[in-house]
Amino acid sequence: MMILTDKKPRVTVEGILTADEIHEIQHHIEHYPYPRAACLDALKYVQRRNGWVDDAQMNAIAQMLSMSVADLEGVATFYNRIYRQPVGRHVILLCDSIACFLMGAETLAEAFQRELGIQFGQTTADGRFTLLPICCLGNCDKGPTLMIDEDTHGLVDVTSVKQLLEKYV
C-alpha cells in the first residue's frame, strides 16, 4: 500500500509485515535505547518467518526502526546469515576457512555439489537445499565443519554426505 504525500511515496508497514512481525519488532525496540539497535533482531525475526528478507520488508523494517534502508542493508549484508534472496528449506553452510580447507573442505564441497547437482550460491530445483560457503563456523578442531540450518556437523567426510542430506527431508 502506498501513501502519497507532497514529497514522495512512502510504503506503509501494514500490508508488508504481518501483525506478528510488527508486534515482535516493536517488542525488540522497547528493549533498546534507540530503535535502530533492534535491527538485527528485526531482520532475524522476519527471516525466520519467511526464509529471507525481501526489499519491501527491508523498507518496512527500516521505517519502523527510523533508519535508512541503506543503513539496514549494510547490516543485512554484513551478516552472512541474513538472506536477501530466496533460499531452500534447508541452508547448508560449508566452512571454507584455512583449518577446514586443510582438513578436506574442498573435497567435501565437491561431494555436496555433485550430490545436490548445484554449485555454491544455488538452490536445488526442488527447493530443498541451498549450498553456501561460510568463512568460519568456529569449530576448527573438528574440521571440515558445516551447518545445516542450526545444526553443526564436524569431522564430516565425503562418505557421509548422502546420509547427512537424508536427515533433512
Q: Coil, strand, or helix at residue 17?
A: strand
Binding residues for [2Fe-2S] cluster: 95, 100, 136, 140
Binding residues: 95, 100, 136, 140
What is the distance between the alpha carbons of residues 67 and 70, in angstroms, rounded to a whole number?
Answer: 8
In terms of C-beta density within 10 A (0-12 exposed, 13-18 middle, 19 or more buried), how is residue 52 classed? middle
- Residues 154, 114: contact at Cβ < 8 Å? no
Q: Report which residue type is found at 28.
A: H
Contacts 24+ apart (CB under 8 A), 69-78: 71/36, 71/39, 72/39, 72/43, 75/39, 75/40, 75/43, 76/43
CA 129, 131, 132, 134 dihedral sign is positive
